Every structure is written in structure tokens, then in C-alpha cells.
């Protein structure tokens, strides 16, 4: 912006302390504190000063636009116009219509939003609207996960940033928003919808009561250099470096069971990192396909200058395929990456228990099944651990390290060490459905389906709201179609069975689409159709 443009912009703004100066306006936007009585009082005061053709807008993020609209003589001319902070930067606005809002008014507001260079979505009047309704349910779930000491704050935030590509982890985002603000929004949403997933996690109220409101107070889930500072500093909860004396089992050879996309990616990751890898596939054809796929990947990396020709040759030399499980007898660590079916995995672990040498680590890359169920069928449950890689494994930096009640401390330490040696970032969590990422991600996706299913907003508008309003790399329906609706349904069913939370029950629309065979991109049709 030039000095002249700045001057012209400021000339278009009249600053005043008198509400009387609002008389000659076509559109009024209220953007005061999230207090229903205050908003109604201000709009009621302006109502007697402006003309009948004025359009009324409230920037509330969670309060009822319908309740606010009753403060003026023409509630049919009231809409919610929810800007996102910082308004000059964020290009997204939610237009919220009530049951009495005039359609012509909605269209006028949509035109206005376009004139000021923003992108709008239209939704009905429901606490939290689109973005906050979906976002705060997820944030609340993350706070509860932390409160239950299931995982550390750092691991929860790292898991969601690296596993889902989010700009911030949920606990860091709560600190940025303000825990008092988050509590107020969740409480409003819960009182209106009575959805238990929106009932504020008790830790939020306790922290707010104690004055721990996030960045603005200098302390929330994290501690900051000073109030308002974005810089975190170490505190009593900051993880300490692992002691040098930690016992770790020696791992130089790795076995991988499986030949699908995930297994192939994991084989490549281990081989690139210097491990000798033996993988087991069902046929010579599948073995050849794994080698061919890894060769293509290495060639692409070579062309981009990411690895040298010597690295390519060395990586290929470390990989050997077989059709015999018995060929894994001498490896130090075995990782299964086969179908997400408990019966199949259980049978495999029974075999591995008999075949593998004493002291070998037996790992599973399951994304949602109980690791302890696999450990229980072996004679060495202490040697079993979860190593949940994310797809595509060569690209995604995150690995969830899942320990059961029986996993030995040295096996956990070994798993952490192996993950670090592959150049990945490991986060540690306990053995329960969904671990960290899927346990937080899929209820959010399920809520999105229910929102569209109830005709509250379109799938396109919901996707736009989460991408533009919250900075998500993909909208929920885009992501569901990529993941696969059948896979998503299976994970959501697993979460529902374990937690018995009514809000986790799979959305009927999801079930119907899977029954019809519309499983997403791979089938050519899911929530959207593909060429």
C-alpha cells in the first residue's frame, strides 16, 4: 500500500464516540463483546435512528442471531455476518440467516461481502455456525484427552500438526483463542444443542478460574515469555531429554509383513535409514511390485536431487522379499502392515510369536485396533508395541508409538529410538481406539457429515468454512473421499464401540453411502462424484 492509498483509505473512515452518527448508513455491523444483553441494547438504541431500509448485521461467533434480531423493529432484515480474526487478513465470512430473515437481504449481504473481497458461506442460525461448531468440538475433545493424561500437550499438538497438516495443534490454538473465550463459546453451544461433545471439558473451567487464560495471561496449556507473547518457555511440564542410560534393544534388521501401499512405504523408509529389510508378500508378483514401486520412488528422489545414485543403490541392496514368514526368524524388529482385520492380525502374531527370535520387537501399524489384543495372543506381550505410520509413509513425518499395559519399558525406548533413526517424529500414547490423531480427527469428520445431513449447510460450504476459516489443508468432505468412506466408517465404528459416546455414533448418511458402494475417490463417487 502506498502512502496515498493509505490516506484515501483513512479518508473513508469516520471515527466517532456517538451512536447518533450511525443515522445515514445502509448497513450496520455490530462487533462488540460476546454479551447477548449488550448486543441487544446497542442494536435497540440504533434502531430508532436509522431508516427502514437498513440491513442489520451481528458479528457474533456463537450467540443466537435470532435472539439478537428481536432487539430491532425489523428482525427480517437481520443476519449474522461472522468475520474471522484478523479481519483484514482472513478472506472468509459466515452469513447466518434466521428463520425470519428476508431472502433478498441475504443476497444483498452476499453481494456486499463480494465487494469487500471476502468469500462467504451461508448457514442457518445454530450456535457456533459452521466453523466454530466443528472446530470447538474438536478442541474440547483435545482438552479432555490432555486432562485424562492420555498424552502430553506436546505430543497431542505435534500429532495433529504432522498427522493432519494443521497450522497449529489444538492446545496451542486454545491458548491463542483464549481459554475463557473457548469456554464461553462451548458453554453457549452446549446450552443450545445439549450435545455432550460440546460440554466444556472441566479442565477449561478450572484453568480459567485460576487465571490461566492462554497467551493473553502468559500461561494456559503452555507457559509464555510474557502476557501476549507467542514465545513459549520451558516449565514443569516440558519434556526432558531421554537419559543417556536408557536401555534400548539393538535393532539393525527389520521385517515387514505386507505388500500394500502402506507396507511398501514403510519398507522404503527403513531401507533408506540404513536398516536391512526383509518383507513378506503372498506372491512373486507382489514382491516384484514392491521392488518396482520403491525403485520409482527412489528415481523421483534422485531426479530432484534429494538422494545420490550411491544412496539409491545402497537402499535397493538392503531390501529383500520373500513369501515365507520363517525368513523373519533372525530379524530384530517385525512390523506388520496387513489388512485392518483383527482376526487376520491375531493369526499373524501367533505365527510371529513362534517364529521370531527371543528379544525381537513385534510391532503393528494398526490405525485403530487394540494393540493389546495382538499382544495377548503371544507368549511375550512385553515385546509388542504399536508403530502407527501415516500414509504416504516416505513423506509423512509422524509415527504414533503406542504402548499397552504390558509393553516393557525397554521396548518403548527401543521403539522411540528406531523412529528417531528413521528421521520421523514419534509421539507416545496409550493403547485405546484411534490413538491421538484418529481419535480427534474422525469425530470432527463425523460431526461434519451430521451437519450436512441436517441440511444446516452444504458440503461445499462446510469444506470452504474449514479451509478458509480455520486454515485446514482440506475440507472434511474432501478428506473423507480421499481416506475412503468405508475406512472412515470402520474407524468411527471402532471409536463408538470403545468409548460408547452417543456423539461418536456414525452418521447415517455415511453408512448409507458405504452400503451403496460409494466409498470415495477410489470408487469414483463418495460425497462427490469423480471423473
Give catalytic residues, as residue numbers. Answer: 367, 388, 400, 438
SS3 255: strand
Q: Which three cell numbers stand for residue 360?
A: 525381537
Residues in CB range of 446: below 8 A, 6 or more apart: 492, 504, 506, 507, 510
Torsion of CA 412, 417, 420, 426, to 10 degrees: 10
**Distance (Å) of CA 214 to CA 85, 175, 230, 526:** 17, 4, 10, 40
Question: Cα separation of 289 and 127, whole Å?
Answer: 51
147 C-beta neighbours (distance < 10 Å), count: 14
* Integer Cα distance of 248 and 359 in angstroms: 11
**Cα-only R_g, the chain:** 27
Helix H or strand E segment including 85:
none
Strand 319-322, strand 361-364: pairing? unpaired
Do 231 and 224 touch, CB atoms closer than 8 A? yes
Going along 135-236, which residue ranges are E strands? 223-224, 232-233
Q: Which residues lie across from 278 on neighbouring strands?
A: 255, 320
The Cα 200–Cα 444 span in angstroms is 16
Beta-carbon neighbour count of residue 372 at 10 Å?
18
Phi-psi region at 28: left, alpha or beta (left = phi > 0; alpha = psi -120 to 50):
beta
Q: Kindly give the residue spans of alpha helices, DSSP state H, lying in 15-152.
A: 36-47, 65-69, 103-115, 131-147
CB atoms within 10 A of CB 529: 9
- Per the CB < 8 A criterion, the answer to whether 388 and 337 are in contact is no
* Residue 291 neighbours by CB under 8 Å, 6+ apart: 316, 319, 321
**CB of 281 closer than 8 Å to CB of 323:** yes
Residue 527, all three cell numbers: 460425497
Amino acid at each position: 500500500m502506498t502512502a496515498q492509498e493509505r490516506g484515501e483509505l483513512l479518508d473513508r473512515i469516520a471515527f466517532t464516540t456517538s451512536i447518533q452518527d450511525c443515522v445515514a448508513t445502509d448497513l450496520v455491523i455490530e462487533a462488540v463483546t460476546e454479551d447477548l444483553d449488550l448486543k441487544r441494547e446497542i442494536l435497540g438504541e440504533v434502531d430508532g435512528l436509522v431508516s427502514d431500509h437498513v440491513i442489520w448485521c451481528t458479528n457474533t461467533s456463537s450467540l443466537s442471531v435470532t435472539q439478537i434480531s428481536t432487539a430491532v423493529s425489523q428482525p427480517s432484515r437481520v443476519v449474522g455476518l461472522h468475520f474471522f480474526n484478523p479481519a483484514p487478513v482472513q478472506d472468509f465470512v459466515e452469513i447466518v440467516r434466521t428463520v425470519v430473515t428476508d431472502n433478498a437481504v441475504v443476497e444483498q449481504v452476499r453481494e456486499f461481502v463480494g465487494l469487500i473481497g471476502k468469500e462467504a458461506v451461508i448457514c442457518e442460525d445454530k450456535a457456533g455456525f459452521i466453523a466454530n461448531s466443528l472446530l470447538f468440538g474438536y478442541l474440547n475433545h483435545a482438552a479432555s484427552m490432555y486432562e485424562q493424561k492420555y498424552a502430553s500437550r506436546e505430543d497431542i499438538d505435534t500429532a495433529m500438526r504432522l498427522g493432519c497438516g494443521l497450522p497449529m495443534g489444538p492446545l496451542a490454538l486454545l491458548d491463542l483463542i483464549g481459554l475463557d473465550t473457548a469456554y464461553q463459546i462451548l458453554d453457549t453451544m452446549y446450552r443450545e444443542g445439549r450435545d455432550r461433545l460440546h460440554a466444556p471439558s472441566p479442565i477449561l473451567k478450572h484453568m480459567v478460574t485460576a487465571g490461566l487464560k492462554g497467551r493473553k495471561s502468559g500461561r494456559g496449556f503452555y507457559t509464555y515469555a510474557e502476557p501476549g507473547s507467542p514465545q513459549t518457555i520451558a516449565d514443569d511440564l516440558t519434556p526432558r531429554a531421554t537419559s543417556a542410560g536408557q536401555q534400548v534393544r539393538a535393532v539393525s534388521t527389520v521385517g515387514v509383513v505386507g505388500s500394500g501401499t502402506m507396507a511398501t512405504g514403510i519398507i522404503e523408509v527403513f531401507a533408506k535409514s540404513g536398516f536391512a529389510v526383509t518383507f513378506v508378500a503372498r506372491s512373486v508378483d507382489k514382491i516384484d511390485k514392491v521392488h518396482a514401486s520403491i525403485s520409482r520412488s527412489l528415481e523421483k528422489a534422485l531426479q530432484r536431487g534429494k538422494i545420490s545414485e550411491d544412496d539409491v543403490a545402497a537402499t535397493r541392496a538392503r531390501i529383500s522379499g520373500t513369501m515365507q514368514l520363517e525368513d523373519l526368524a533372525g530379524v530384530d524388529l517385525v512390523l506388520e502392515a496387513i489388512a485392518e482385520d483383527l482376526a487376520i492380525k491375531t493369526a499373524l502374531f501367533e505365527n510371529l510369536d513362534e517364529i521370531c527370535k527371543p528379544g525381537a520387537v513385534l510391532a503393528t501399524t494398526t490405525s485403530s485396533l487394540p494393540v493389546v489384543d495382538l499382544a495377548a495372543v503371544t507368549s511375550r506381550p512385553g515385546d509388542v508395541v504399536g508403530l502407527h505410520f501415516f500414509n504416504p509413509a516416505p513423506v509423512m513425518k509422524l509415527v504414533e508409538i503406542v504402548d499397552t499395559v504390558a509393553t516393557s519399558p525397554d521396548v518403548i525406548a527401543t521403539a522411540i529410538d528406531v523412529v528417531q533413526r528413521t528421521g520421523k517424529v514419534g509421539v507416545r500414547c496409550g493403547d485405546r481406539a484411534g490413538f491421538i490423531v484418529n481419535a480427534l480427527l474422525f469425530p470432527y469428520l463425523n460431526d461434519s457429515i451430521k451437519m450436512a445431513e441436517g441440511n444446516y449447510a452444504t458440503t461445499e460450504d462446510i469444506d470452504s468454512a474449514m479451509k478458509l476459516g480455520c486454515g485446514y489443508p482440506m475440507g472434511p468432505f474432501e478428506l473423507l473421499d480421499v481416506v475412503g468412506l468405508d475406512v472412515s466408517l470402520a474407524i468411527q465404528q471402532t471409536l463408538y464401540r470403545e468409548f460408547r459416546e452417543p456423539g461418536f455414533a456414525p452418521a447415517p448418511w455415511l453408512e448409507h453411502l458405504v452400503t451403496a458402494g460409494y466409498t470415495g475417490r477410489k470408487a469414483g463417487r463418495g460425497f462427490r462424484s469423480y471423473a
